[in-house]
C-alpha cells in the first residue's frame, strides 16, 4: 500500500513514479500516441483518412464507455474495500479472542497464554501466506503443542490452525479450566476466523466476470483506435495531444480497476497484509501479557511505501 497525505496535492503529484504500474500505463499511452502520430502524418501528407463523423455518436459512445468505466471502478473499489474490511475483522476477532482468553486464564497460566497468543498470530500470518504465495512456515511461532511440524502436511493451513484452536478449547473444558458458557463465547468469535478466510478466498478467486473485463477492454481498444480518424481533420497535428489525453483517461481507469480488484498481492496499491499480521501479533502478546518468541524469523516484507 502507498501511504500518503491526501490533502497535499502537489506532494501527491510529485510521486508519480512510485504510483501504480505507471510504466505499463505510460507504455500503453505511448503506443497510442505513436499510432496517432503515424496516422496524423499519413493524413496530412498522403491521403485524407478522416471519417465524416460529427461528434454526436462519438460523444455518445464515449459517455456509454465512461459510465461502464465508473461501474468498473466502483466494483473494483468495493472488492478492495471488502478485502480491507475482512482483514479489519481479523484484527477485531483476534483481539476479542485474546481478551476473552485473558479473562478466562489465570495470570500464571503462562503455557496456555503463550499458546493462544502464538496460535492467533500464526493464523493471521498463515492466512497472509495462503492469500499470497504460500504459507511461510519459518514465520510461524511454535505454540508448544508439537503441531507446528505437522502443519506443512495440510493443503489448507488456516483451517488446520482454526481446528487446533478449537481442539485446545475442548481440552480446557475437559480439564474443567473453562466451562460450557465460555466455550460458546469462544466459538462465536472463533467462527469468524474461517468466515474471513473464505471471504478473502472468494475475492481472490473470482474476478469481475470475464465478459465485462473483455467487453470493456475491447470497447476501449476500438474507441481509441477510431478517435484519430474522427479528430484528425478538425484538429490537425493537435489530434495527437487529444488522442494521448483520451488514452490516458480511458486506459488509466481500466488499469487501476484491474490492479485493485484483487488487493491481496504485492502490487504497490495492495493491502499491507504483512503489516496487519504483525500488528495482530503484537496485540495478541500485549493483551495476553506474554513476550513474543525470539526465535521466529520475522519476514522483512515491507508491503507499504510512504510518499509524503
Q: What count of Cα atoms within 13 Å lies in the side-chain half-sphere of residue 187?
A: 11
**Closest C-alpha among 244, 245, 249, 243 to residue 227:** 243
Q: What Å distances lie between residue 59 and 54, 66, 72, 123, CA to CA?
A: 9, 10, 20, 52
Q: Is 51 a residue that touches a second copy (CB under 8 A)?
A: yes
Q: Is 249 a residue that touches a second copy (CB under 8 A)?
A: yes
Write out the binding residues for a second copy, residues 265-294 only, by CB under 8 A: 268-269, 271, 282-283, 286-287
Q: Is 261 a residue that touches a second copy (CB under 8 A)?
A: yes
Q: Is 110 a residue that touches a second copy (CB under 8 A)?
A: no
Cα gap 241→214, rounded to integer Å: 27
**Angle at Cα 124 formed by Cα 120 and Cα 125, nearest 5°?**
115
Nearer to a second copy, 21 or 44 (CB): 21
Nearest approach, Cβ of residue 37 and a second copy (Å): 17
Cα gap 277→271, rounded to integer Å: 11
Contact range with a second copy by CB under 8 A, out of 40-48, 53-61, 118-126, 138-146 = 53-61
Nearer to a second copy, 173 or 299 (CB): 173
Nearer to a second copy, 101 or 140 (CB): 101
Q: At what angle do helices 22-45 and 239-260 cross, to 10 degrees?
A: 150
Contact pattern for a second copy over residues 124 through 143, marking x by CB under 8 A: --------------------
Nearer to a second copy, 214 or 297 (CB): 214
Write out the binding residues for a second copy, residues 202-241 only, by CB under 8 A: 202, 206-215, 217-219, 221-222, 226-227, 231, 234-236, 238, 241
Q: SS3 of 2, please?
A: strand
Nearest approach, Cβ of residue 72 and a second copy (Å): 9
Among 32, 120, 162, 224, binds a second copy (CB under 8 A): 162
Nearest approach, Cβ of residue 296 and a second copy (Å): 20
Q: Do residues 111 and 270 lie in contact, with contact meaning Cβ atoms separated by under 8 Å?
A: no
Nearer to a second copy, 80 or 115 (CB): 80
Q: Is 189 a residue that touches a second copy (CB under 8 A)?
A: yes
Cβ–Cβ contacts within 10 Å for residue 83, how many? 24
Q: Is 111 a residue that touches a second copy (CB under 8 A)?
A: no
Cα gap 29→15, rounded to integer Å: 19
First and final C-alpha spacing in the chain:
13
Amino acid at each position: 500500500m502507498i501511504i500518503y497525505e491526501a490533502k497535499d496535492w502537489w506532494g501527491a503529484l510529485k510521486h508519480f513514479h512510485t504510483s501504480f504500474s505507471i510504466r505499463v500505463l505510460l507504455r500503453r499511452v505511448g503506443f497510442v500516441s505513436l499510432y496517432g502520430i503515424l496516422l496524423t502524418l499519413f493524413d496530412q501528407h498522403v491521403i485524407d483518412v478522416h471519417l465524416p463523423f460529427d461528434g454526436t455518436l462519438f460523444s455518445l459512445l464515449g459517455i456509454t464507455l465512461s459510465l461502464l468505466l465508473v461501474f468498473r471502478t466502483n466494483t473494483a473499489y468495493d472488492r478492495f474495500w471488502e478485502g480491507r474490511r475482512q482483514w479489519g475483522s481479523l484484527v477485531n476477532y483476534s483481539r476479542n479472542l485474546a481478551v476473552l482468553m485473558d479473562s478466562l486464564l489465570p495470570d500464571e497460566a503462562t503455557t496456555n497464554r503463550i499458546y493462544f497468543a502464538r496460535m492467533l498470530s500464526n493464523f493471521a500470518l498463515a492466512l497472509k501466506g495462503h492469500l499470497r504465495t504460500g504459507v511461510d512456515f519459518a514465520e510461524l511461532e511454535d505454540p508448544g503443542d508439537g503441531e507446528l511440524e505437522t502443519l506443512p502436511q495440510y493443503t489448507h493451513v488456516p483451517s488446520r490452525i482454526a481446528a487446533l484452536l478449537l481442539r485446545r478449547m475442548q481440552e480446557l473444558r475437559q480439564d474443567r479450566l473453562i466451562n460450557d458458557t465460555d466455550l460458546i463465547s469462544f466459538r462465536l468469535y472463533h467462527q469468524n476466523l474461517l468466515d474471513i478466510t473464505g471471504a478473502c478466498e472468494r475475492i481472490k478467486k473470482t474476478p469481475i466476470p470475464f465478459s465485462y473485463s473483455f467487453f470493456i477492454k475491447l470497447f476501449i481498444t476500438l474507441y481509441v483506435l477510431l478517435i484519430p480518424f474522427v479528430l484528425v481533420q478538425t484538429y490537425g497535428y493537435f489530434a495527437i495531444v487529444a488522442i494521448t489525453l483520451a488514452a490516458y483517461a480511458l486506459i488509466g481507469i481500466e488499469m487501476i480497476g484491474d490492479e485493485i480488484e484483487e488487493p491481496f498481492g504485492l502490487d504497490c496499491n495492495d493491502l499491507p497484509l504483512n503489516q496487519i499480521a504483525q500488528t495482530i501479533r503484537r496485540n495478541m502478546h500485549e493483551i495476553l501479557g506474554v513476550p513474543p518468541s525470539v526465535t521466529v524469523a520475522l519476514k522483512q516484507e515491507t508491503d507499504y511505501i510512504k510518499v509524503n
